Structures are given as C-alpha cells and as structure tokens.
C-alpha cells in the first residue's frame, strides 16, 4: 500500500513536470483552447512518439520485468517489489530528462512561470492525482498509472477548460482596473502600435526618441495583449509619466478594437500587413481589417502614421479619414519622413533623414537593414509631429541599441548579423542585401522563411536566387520543403554546389560553420531555426 501511494504521487508529479512543453504551447497561444487544439493537431506525431509510446513502454516494462527478474530472484514478492521500484525510478528519470529537454529548448518566446501558469499547474496536478489514483486502485483490475503520460496533452487542455471561467473573471478585473487608471491620467499621451511585422522594434525606437523630451512608459517586448498591457498599466504607470506606448498584437478579428478601447490612443502607428496567424485570421483581408481597427479607433484630433511598400498598407492609408502621414525612401514626394543616401557597413547604417517640412539631418545607427531604417522613420515621423527637432531625433537614433536576434550586429573575429527571429520575407531579402555589402567572405545560415500564406515555395525559391548573388557560402538548417526550394533557386542561379552545405539542426550547422569560416568573414543567421519553434 505504501508503494502504491508513493507511485501515485511520484508519477503524477513527474507527468506534470514533463507537461511543460504543452503548457508552453498553451501559453504561446495566449491560453486560447482553439489555438491549442490546432497546435496538437499539427504535432500529433510528436505526441505519439513522446507520450503514447513512452507510456505504453513503461506499462509493459512494469508488467513483464518480474518475469525477467525471475532468472535471478526466486521469491515472487521480492521480484515484484524490485521491479516496481526499478520501473518507477526509470520512469521518473525519463520524465526528468524530457522536462529538462523541453525547458531548455530554444524558443522565440521563452516559457514564463506566471501566476496563471502556477494556478493551471495546481489544477493539473489535482486532476492527474485523482486519475492516477483511480487507475492504480481500480478493482478487480488495476490500470498502470504510467498510462497517465499518454493523456497529458489532453489533461492540460482539460485543466485549462476547468480554470478558464475563473481566469476570465480575474482578467476582467485587471482590465477594468487598468482602464480606470488610464482614464484618470487625463494628460497622458497614449500611442498604439500595431502591424504584422516590426511593431516591437518601432516601439522601442519610439520610446528612446521620445525620451529626449518626455517621460515615457512603453510595454515590454512580449506584453501586447489585453492582459499584458493591463498588467503594465496597473503595476508600472506613474503620475509622472507623460507618454504611454502600447504595442498591440492580434490573432483574431476584433483583438485590436479591444486594446484600443483599453488604451484609447491619440496616435497610432501601422507598420505593415503580412500573412501572420493565418490559421486564426483565415485571410490576409481579415488581418488588414483587424490592424486597421487601431486607426478607426483614434479620436477626431488623432494622427495615424503608416509604413509604406506593400499594397495593403497603401490601401489602408487611402481609406484613413484621420490626420495621417506616411514614410518613404529616396525621392518619394508623398512621404512626410524619408531616408536617402542609405549605406551599410560593419559599423551599422548611415542615411539622410528628410522631413516634408524642409529640414533634414544625417543619421548614423548601429541598426542594420532598410527595414530597420523604415522602423526608425516611423518613430521619427511621430516624434516630429510631437514636437521634437530633427537633431534631437538624430542624436537618439545614434544611441539606439539593436534588438536581440533582429539584425543584431555583433562584432568580433567573425562579424555576426543575428536575424534569427525574423519571420518576414521582405526583411529576409533585405538582410541578404545588407550582407552583400559586407567585407570579407559572406556566409548565410538559414532554415528558410515559413508562414507566408501558402507562398512558401515561391518565396524560398526567390530567396535562393538572391542568396546566390549575396553569399559565398550557405548552410541550410533542417531538411524540409523550405530548404529544398532554396536549393532549387540557388542551383538555377549558378551557385557552386561545393559551397552549399546542409545541416540537420543548429548543432550540426555550428560544426560546419566552424570548419568553413575564417577570421574576417561575415555570418548572417537568418530566420528562426527549426528546433522548438517549428512546432509552434
């Protein structure tokens, strides 16, 4: 009886710990059960391998190990006791390894043990404890408790469904509290930033520029939901703050409208429109209309700042009935803020920033790439409208720090350009144009670009053709359709097969890079490497 109790508790704890992968997936989907179910469907092969097979293996070992031990131990009770403890120890060790593997797996959004996760884990533990006890103690036939691990992906979903109403009530309270606090801050200038790509970069650039004149609070990197923004407002907004910048993310139609109702921004920045979260939006038109909810929610005296360069942004700019302006490049007569004479080096980017009011200034920044310059222009355009001088803006631009893994320039024996969190095809092409201007041999490490609204094959083929002209050596990571399309594009463009390398994972790619690189080379890490992120 003592062992049965120990087995129930230990198996429950081990399975709950090993479920971190599934709780992380739920967290990545903003705790939305439809998104989690879609994730489970996409990852059914992994679930079969890591859950069902291991659970059945442990159950079978528990059943047949006593037979094997009969070769060494004649006493039945001793055999059964020893086999039971051995299987429990092996299963616990396996769960510990799986937990460590999943917890340390690289991810674009690391797993965060929040209060909500703790509440979810508590409910999950109680559910699993009850189920394990029932399986172990059913009579006349007991069921191996190790089968619990096969059910963990669905136990996480059940725990989330049970705790869902409580979380919704709790969130509603946080939301109302933040809304009241913002409404009470009468003189606060609120700014909303949304778009498929670039909104985090623009937010931090704008924060640093406006800090030259105002006391600014901006939401942290991953706080772009109703609850994230509410938490920042409730915990960090002070009476002395003059400007509040809120990044606004969306996965469903209506998400931005909800955030606009909370923040009530006077100014809005719409960075770009692209095929992100197509599984929940359904179409690029739904994405565009959702992002446009920010502009529609501005007050009559509000101002909307638009990016430039894609058809949907151009259409939304034409539809805007508020005071508006946009950015541009080179000799764009309709742009309020534009960049000319753009150049790149291993020190960063340089360009002339020209405003439609007639003033201009030379800018230098450690940020690389035309899309980073466009992000700077978006922030500079709004800063100019809010009263900052061009030289003030240029001084702030000079001090900007690159965001990790987004065209991050890392000097050293090898000059590294880390763009490993990029998911935008246009930005990937721009990264290749940047590395083409770098000194020394140029090496690209990439898995290709995914989630492009069904156009992945064509886009990666085009990426391969550009890569053939921009790189001296290429390492393709992961053997999937994206890399095959890149290879076709490179070969048809005459790239030497001897300078093309393939790697199964990032560890393999690192070994190849060490072999082929020399001091003075420039290495571009482009797009998310297909480890953990590929499954999300």
Tokens standing for residue 95:
């769960």
Q: Is 318 helix (H, G, I), strand (E, B) or coil?
A: helix
DSSP state of 402: P
DSSP state of 49: I
CA distance 472 to 307: 33
CATH number of this structure's domain 408-535: 3.90.190.20
Q: What is the pLDDT of residue 245?
A: 98
302 Cβ contact list (under 8 Å, min separation 6): 265, 266, 267, 268, 322, 323
Q: Is 360 helix (H, G, I), strand (E, B) or coil?
A: strand
Q: What is the pLDDT of residue 333?
A: 87
Strands (E), 369-461: 408-410, 415-419, 442-446
DSSP state of 186: T
Tokens standing for residue 103:
């917890």
* pTM of the shown model: 0.76
Q: Identify how many contiguous H helices and E strands the chain contains and give both numbers.
A: 21, 15
Domain locations along the chain: 2-168, 185-398, 408-535
Q: Using one digit for the tens of pLDDT, what is the confidence trace for 505-525?
A: 888 889 999 999 999 999 999
Q: What is the pLDDT of residue 420?
A: 86
Closest C-alpha to 534, from 459, 487, 470, 482: 482
CA 459 to chain centre: 21
The H or E element that residue 180 is part of is: helix 148-184
The H or E element that residue 191 is part of is: strand 189-194
Which residue do the tokens 């599984």 mark?
279
Whether 185-398 shares its CATH topology with 408-535 is answered no
CATH number of this structure's domain 185-398: 3.40.1190.10
Which residue do the tokens 């009468």 mark?
186
Q: What is the pLDDT of residue 67?
A: 77
Q: How far is CA 377 from CA 199, 202, 338, 419, 513, in A?
A: 13, 9, 7, 20, 35
Phi-psi region for residue 358, left (φ > 0), alpha (ψ -120 to 50) or beta? Answer: left
Q: What is the pLDDT along the chain (536 residues), one digit of tens a residue?
A: 688 889 899 999 999 999 988 999 898 888 889 888 888 888 888 787 788 888 888 888 888 777 777 767 767 777 778 888 888 899 999 999 988 887 777 666 778 888 899 999 999 999 999 999 888 776 555 678 888 999 999 999 999 999 999 999 999 999 999 999 999 999 999 999 999 888 989 999 999 999 999 999 999 977 899 999 999 999 999 999 999 999 999 888 899 999 999 999 999 999 999 887 777 788 999 999 999 999 999 999 999 999 987 789 999 999 999 999 999 999 888 999 999 999 888 788 999 999 999 999 999 999 988 888 999 999 999 999 999 999 999 999 999 988 778 888 888 889 999 988 777 787 888 889 889 888 789 999 998 887 666 778 899 999 999 999 999 999 999 867 788 899 999 999 999 999 999 998 888 889 999 999 999 999 999 987 644 333 33
Strands (E), 195-283: 216-218, 243-247, 267-270
CA distance 283 to 145: 44
Which residue do the tokens 């969306």 mark?
250
Burial of 68 (0-12, 13-18, 19+ CB in 10 A): exposed
Q: Using one digit for the tens of pLDDT, what is the confidence trace for 448-487?
A: 887 666 778 899 999 999 999 999 999 999 867 788 899 9
Q: How far is CA 122 from CA 119, 129, 132, 232, 403, in A?
A: 5, 11, 15, 25, 36
Are β-strands 360-365 and 348-355 bridged in parallel, bridged antiparallel, or unpaired? Answer: antiparallel
Which residue do the tokens 């489970």 mark?
40
DSSP state of 499: G
CA distance 536 to 533: 5
Q: What is the pLDDT of residue 488?
A: 94
Which residue do the tokens 């709004």 mark?
382
Q: Is 190 helix (H, G, I), strand (E, B) or coil?
A: strand
Strand order in the sheet with 408-410: 408-410, 415-419, 522-526, 442-446, 473-477, 500-503
CA distance 92 to 105: 20
């Amino acid at each position: 009886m003592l062992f049965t109790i120990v087995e129930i508790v230990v198996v429950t704890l081990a399975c709950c710990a090993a479920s971190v992968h599934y709780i992380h997936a739920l967290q990545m989907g903003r705790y939305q059960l439809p998104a989690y179910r879609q994730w489970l469907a996409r990852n059914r092969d992994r679930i079969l391998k890591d859950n069902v097979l291991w659970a059945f293996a442990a159950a079978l070992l528990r059943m047949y190990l006593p037979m094997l031990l009969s070769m060494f131990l004649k006493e039945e009770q001793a055999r059964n006791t020893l086999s039971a403890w051995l299987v429990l120890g092996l299963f616990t060790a396996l769960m510990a390894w799986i937990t460590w593997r999943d917890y340390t797996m690289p991810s674009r959004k690391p797993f965060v043990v929040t209060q909500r996760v703790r509440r979810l884990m508590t409910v999950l533990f109680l559910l699993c404890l009850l189920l394990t006890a029932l399986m172990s103690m059913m009579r006349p036939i007991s069921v191996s408790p190790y089968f619990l691990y096969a059910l963990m992906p669905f136990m996480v979903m059940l725990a989330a469904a049970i705790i869902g109403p409580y979380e919704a009530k709790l969130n509603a309270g946080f939301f109302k509290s933040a809304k009241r606090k913002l409404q009470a801050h009468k003189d606060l200038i609120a700014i909303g930033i949304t778009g498929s790509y670039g909104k985090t970069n623009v937010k931090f650039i704008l924060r640093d520029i406006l800090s030259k004149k105002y006391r600014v609070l901006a939401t942290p990197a991953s706080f772009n939901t109703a609850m994230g923004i509410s938490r920042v407002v409730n915990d960090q907004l002070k009476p002395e703050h003059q400007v509040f910048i809120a990044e606004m993310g969306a996965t469903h139609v209506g998400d931005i409208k909800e955030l606009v109702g909370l923040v009530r921004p006077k100014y809005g920045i719409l960075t770009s429109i692209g095929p992100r979260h197509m599984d929940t939006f359904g179409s690029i038109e739904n994405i565009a209309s959702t992002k446009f909810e920010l502009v529609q929610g501005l007050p009559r005296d509000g101002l909307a700042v638009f990016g430039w360069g894609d058809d949907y942004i151009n259409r939304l700019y034409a539809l805007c009935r508020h005071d508006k302006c946009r950015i541009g490049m080179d000799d764009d007569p309709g742009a309020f803020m534009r960049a000319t004479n753009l150049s790149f080096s291993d020190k960063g980017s340089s360009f002339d920033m020209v405003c439609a009011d007639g003033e201009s200034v030379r800018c230098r920044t450690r940020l690389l790439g035309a899309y980073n310059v466009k992000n700077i222009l978006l922030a500079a355009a709004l800063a100019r409208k809010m009263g900052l001088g061009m030289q003030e803006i240029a001084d702030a631009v000079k001090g900007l720090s690159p965001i990790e893994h987004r065209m991050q320039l890392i000097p050293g024996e090898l000059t590294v350009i880390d763009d490993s969190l990029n998911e935008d095809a246009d930005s990937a092409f721009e990264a290749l144009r940047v590395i083409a201007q770098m000194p020394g041999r140029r090496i690209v490490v990439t898995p290709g670009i995914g989630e492009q609204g069904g156009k992945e094959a064509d886009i990666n083929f085009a990426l391969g053709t550009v890569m053939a002209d921009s790189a001296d050596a290429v390492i393709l990571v992961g053997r999937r359709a994206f890399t095959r399309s890149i290879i076709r594009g490179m070969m048809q463009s005459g790239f030497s097969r001897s300078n093309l390398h393939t790697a199964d994972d990032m560890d393999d790619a690192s070994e190849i890079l060490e072999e082929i690189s020399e001091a003075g080379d420039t290495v571009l890490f482009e797009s998310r490497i297909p480890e953990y992120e590929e499954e999300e």
